[in-house]
Chains A and B, each alone.
Chain A
Amino acid sequence: MSVDEKTVRHIARLARIALAEEQVAPMAKELNNILGWVRQLEEVEIGGVPPMTSVVAQKLRLRDDVVTEGGQADALMANAPQAEEHFFVVPKVVE
């Protein structure tokens, strides 16, 4: 299961990270280095072992479904790279 250049381009697209063509081969090599090393987990006997999803055995707390800190549009927009009024601006999505 080694990662080829096609796979690198595919996961870079999934992760929304642009990779220049000359970065693809080195990245494939780096990923194979890391994945080759983690593959030693294949030797562990995991039959009947449940996957751990939380280290703390506690029930998720619920709270009342009410607004706690609303009305903060100005604060929410304060770090927007490009905004108009209370809208985030992006390149045109629909023609």
Chain B
Amino acid sequence: MALPSSPIDLTLAEARDALRTGEISSAEITAACVKAMAEARPLNAFITETPERAAEMAAASDRRIATGEARPLEGIPLAIKDLFCTKGVRTTAGSRMLENFVPPYESTVTRNLWDAGAVMLGKTNMDEFAMGSSNESSHFKPVANPWRARNSNQIVVPGGSSGGSAAAVAASLCPGATGTDTGGSIRQPAALSGIVGLKPSYGRCSRWGIVAFASSLDQAGPMTRTVRDAAILLKAMASVDPKDSTSVDVPVPDYEEGLESGVKGLRIGIPREYRLQGAPAEIDELWTKGAAWLGEQGARIVEVSLPHTKYALPVYYILAPAEASSNLARYDGVRYGHRAAQVRDVMELYEQSRAEGFGAEVRRRILVGAYVLSAGYYDAYYVRAQKVRTLIARDFERAFESCDVLLTPSTPGAAFALGAMTADPVAMYLNDVFTVTANLAGLPAITVPAGLSKEGLPLGLQIIGNAFDEKLVLRAGRAIEQAAAFGGKPFRWWTRA
């Protein structure tokens, strides 16, 4: 195999294969990634860099490779969203509340990754408590998207909440990263940063040790530069876990197997309600192009209906804040997290610690959640939203009677300028219009980079599949990837700053 000029350009699959044959060592790849990570500080993709740990883990991997004991991800450097608790390494959730929190335990997903031989590069920046679609709600300052519009020096957002992971992968600081997705937090930043992002079925990855946002919606998943890499990373992340009673006990298949089987004979559903009034024409055009690509490869394109689509975001913005207000009740300034100084009594301790520790968006969502759960409003808001959620899930069940996977746009537009959407929370929420439905229905969905906007910024297409049908989602995603031949990489402006 001819290796690219720099180890940082290796895909995860290429790195794995080159490590196995001894063409390159983990120490070499890891050192190149650590250097790239340091050079890329203008992107602010990492909250905590762990170069010493990376070097130690790489050396251990090289010893294992030498003795023939290599595991599936042996020696491959990964970035970890700062929502996954990592034993002995500060885990902030992007919040002042957890600025100094050092977990005494390891999340199941990261435990699985280290057990598979992966090397930790550091912890990536994110919207505070995963609440946001631009990474601007992070206590540790926004992340810059490695991409910029053509002939422009303006910084655009990487999307969110997994914005640091998306930027790190897009800038080739690492071949893969973990993300979490509650309403689109893997797929929206992946689409805006020109990479692949996969949200697995609810229950596929253990949530244990991931700082909780909305427990009925949260899922961890891979963010990579190729579909094959997402397949490899998902296999290592997924497991049934006695510590998460919602993790599902179905075998984890080899997601690479059958990846190249194509879409011939598959029925691709096009949900007519995803054609939005007022969305940019280029979003629709890319979607039409995607359907044509799959059609040319022998798939049958069928129109389907998901009639409750327009209610998905309002449902989400009742249920997610409700669950968040309950989950985030644990931050009381007593057991861990930020504690206000000089308080008179225990009530003031709670109220001040939380007012100081949480940022504006998190406070807003906790209050929305407390309101919709409060006496007199519980049935009108919370229970009604749960019922409409049932209808949304039923829409998908019905659609999958006449198709195998769905093809949709990933986002209603390309990456936007810093500050462009912060004034109106509801406008920001609309970023997740195409992604949030899969969370509500618990379905696997992937975004694959498929083209560039007029301004030269990445756009993605999304494949949504039936529950636990990740293999088919990956296979269809691979077909899009092949036809789109995106291959775009951002110009490395940050090394010239």
Contact = CB atoms under 8 A, between A and B. Distances in A.
Interface of A: 1, 3, 7-8, 10-19, 27, 30-31, 33-35, 37-42, 44, 46, 49-56, 58, 60-61, 63, 72, 75-76, 78-82, 88, 90-93
B410 to A, nearest CB: 21
B203 A18 contact: no
Contacts of A12: 367
A8 B311 contact: no
A33 B427 CA distance: 11
B238 interface: no
Interface stretch (B135-143, B240-248, B264-272, B475-483): B240-248
B374 A14 contact: yes
Contact of A56 (B203, B315, B336): B203
Contacts of A54: 216, 246
Contact of B389 (A17, A38, A52): A52
Given A16-B354, A78-B104, A92-B345, 4 more contacts: A13-B351, A18-B355, A52-B386, A78-B102
Nearest to A49: B387
B334 interface: yes
Contacts of A79: 100-102, 104, 335-337
13 contacts: A1-B380, A8-B367, A18-B351, A31-B367, A38-B315, A39-B314, A40-B314, A46-B388, A50-B390, A55-B442, A61-B245, A63-B242, A81-B334
B329 to A, nearest CB: 8
B363 A35 contact: no
A46 B355 CA distance: 37
A37 B311 CA distance: 10
A52 B271 CA distance: 23
B171 to A, nearest CB: 32
A54 to B, nearest CB: 7
Interface in B326-352: 329, 332-339, 343-352
Interface string B95-112: 000001110110000000
Contact of B364 (A31, A37, A41, A88): A31
Interface centre among A15, A27, A41, A51 (most CB of B within 10 A): A15
B134 interface: no
Counting from the closest, the 10 A-B pairs by CB-CB distance are A55-B442, A51-B386, A81-B339, A79-B336, A75-B104, A18-B351, A18-B355, A38-B314, A16-B350, A15-B370
Contacts of B101: 79
B196 interface: no
Contacts of A1: 377, 380
B368 A91 contact: no
Contacts of B424: 33
Contacts of B46: none
Interface of B: 100-102, 104-105, 202-203, 216, 242, 245-246, 248-249, 308, 310-311, 314-315, 317-318, 325, 329, 332-339, 343-352, 354-355, 358, 363-364, 366-371, 374, 377, 380-381, 383-391, 393, 424-426, 440-442, 467
Contact of B367 (A17, A58, A78): A17
Contacts of A78: 102, 104
A50 B100 CA distance: 43
A16 B370 CA distance: 10
A56 B203 CA distance: 8
Contact of B374 (A11, A19, A27, A93): A11
A52 B393 contact: yes
Contacts of A75: 104-105
Nearest to A19: B355
Contacts of A16: 329, 332, 347, 350-351, 354
B311 A18 contact: no
Contact of B317 (A38, A58, A81): A38
A42 B345 CA distance: 42
Contacts of B369: 15
A14 B347 CA distance: 11
